Amino acid sequence: MHELSLMQAVVEMAAEAAGERRVKRVVLDIGRGAAVLPDAMRFCFELASAESPIHGAQLDIIESEGDHLRLKELEVA
């Protein structure tokens, strides 16, 4: 399941970008041609963030055209 390794990278990027602030929400933009399953990413978010600084954050996924996976928005407190 490559979604787990992708989500681990997303969690690391989000935690690094947030610094000492608490992450409230992560928004991903996933292209339909990216060969990434949004439901699998949601499941993997729970696993990847469980022991991280962003544990408890909300994950929102936007599906769009293209073959990309982007960290579109990061809401911190």
| 50: CATH | 3.30.2320.50
Write down the pTM of the prediction: 0.91
| Three-class SS state of 55 | coil
Contact between 9 and 70 under an 8 Å Cβ cutoff? The reply is: no
- Beta-strand runs (E) in 1-77: 23-31, 58-64, 69-76
Task: Specify the number of domains making up the chain.
Answer: 1
> Taking each helix axis from N to C terminus, what angle separates 38-49 and 2-18, rounded to the nearest 10 degrees?
60
Tens of pLDDT along 3-44? 999 999 999 999 999 999 999 999 999 999 999 999 999 999
Question: So what's the pLDDT on residue 1?
Answer: 61
Range of the domain at 16: 2-76
Determine the pLDDT at residue 16: 95
**How is the beta sheet containing 69-76 ordered, strand by strand?**
58-64, 23-31, 69-76
